[in-house]
Amino acid sequence: MPAERLKLFATLTSERGLWRRGRTLRHGLRAAISIAALGLWLTSPGTPVAPTPASAAAPCGAPGEMVQKGLDAYAQSRYELAMPSFDCVLRTDDGLQKLHAEFFLARIHSDDTGGFVDHARAYALFQGISEQADAVDPDDSRRAPFVAKAVTAIAGYVRRGLPEIGLKADPERAVEYYRQAATFFNEPDAQFEMAKLHLAGVYVPKDVPLGLHYIQNLVQANNAPAQAFMAEQHWRGSYAPQIAKDRSRALAMSKLAVENAGPSDRLWIEDSYQNIYCATPAVERSRAAAMAAAWRRAYLQTPNAERAPQAQKSPQAPMALGRRQPALSRTCSNGDPVDMELRSDIAAPPVTSSLTQNTPQPTTPAGMRAPPR
């Protein structure tokens, strides 16, 4: 299996010191499914706890080859072809390849738009992976990113609840999962959720500087949801003076979010961008375009793996949730076409220790103060 596809999320923040493995969360992880809920899932009629008959009859190759075959189909959103390959691995491997197959099967079953949604099975698969969180080394690029994503997925299920398996919503327990994934594994989706919780003071103490610190780091890492969130705050001025109210900045940041958005976030990010674009005067649109160009260089943007899954050499490509479709044409109410051109030709220069001294600081164009120390 190519080593490149396992070196994931190299731009994540370094907040790991806020969390260390503890026995308290170990017990919380193992208690994520109650015995009753697990029993209900295992006995639910129609629940695909085993491979489908079609996949069970298919011949299986070496686990590594089957994972790669599944990933090739997965990257093209050919889930019907990817699932039999991953199911083969579940039957023939009990190590790293099985972990990867379980992860991508869970992603397929948790995708509400993919045609194979089965949240009960997705939850069970994610749960099995998350139980490794207490033992995996966060620097183990072969395992840690998958375990971290699984913990974040479990947090979402626990936060919302899953009636089909009898799992009741428990937002406070979900926070513990988010916190572990965000601080111990530096998982960006969990960091984004923790940021919003701290900004709102919901289920955690209100801490605006900490929340904005998370958002700022994610923006610099080209995290599309965080960039879209930042754009909306620039538009509204909700957190001034930390985030300046500025329509040009809002539009520029929103454009970056559109360029970096993956399939699961594309529609809402493009909706937000259209609203900001159409409400921005033409002269400020030109200023925003110049800002966006400068920020692309400052953030060292590379073509997003979800946006261009055909670039299989990208280390983030295996994490993409299927193929990103081209942006749809959009029009403002006055007839102006919305600029939906995606920049996919930007190559990142080498990252050096002098980066922060020789390039504009991302916090400056974002209009934010330095985070607390």
- pLDDT, tens digit (0-9, with 9 covering 90-100), for 175-229: 999 999 999 999 999 999 999 999 999 999 999 999 999 999 999 999 999 999 9
CB atoms within 10 A of CB 173: 16
Alpha-carbon span 257 to 191, nearest angstrom:
17
- Lowest model confidence (mean pLDDT) among 221-225, 230-234, 344-348, 369-373: 369-373
320 in Cβ contact with 306 (< 8 Å): yes
pLDDT band at 68 (very low <50, low <70, confident <90, very high): very high
N-terminal to C-terminal alpha carbon distance within the chain: 41
The alpha carbons of the chain give a radius of gyration, in whole angstroms, of 21
Alpha-carbon span 21 to 3, nearest angstrom:
27
Which residues have CB under 8 Å from 65's CB, separation 6+? none
Buried b (16+ CB within 10 A) or exposed e, 285-302: bebbeebbeebbebbbbb
Alpha-carbon span 97 to 65, nearest angstrom:
10
- pLDDT, tens digit (0-9, with 9 covering 90-100), for 15-28: 343 344 443 434 44
- Lowest model confidence (mean pLDDT) among 88-92, 239-243, 252-256, 286-290: 239-243
Among candidate residues 238, 169, 221, 226, the one with its CA nearest the CA of residue 193: 226
Q: Is the pTM of this model over 0.75?
A: no
Decide: residue 20, CB within 10 A, 0-12 exposed, 13-18 middle, 19+ buried: exposed
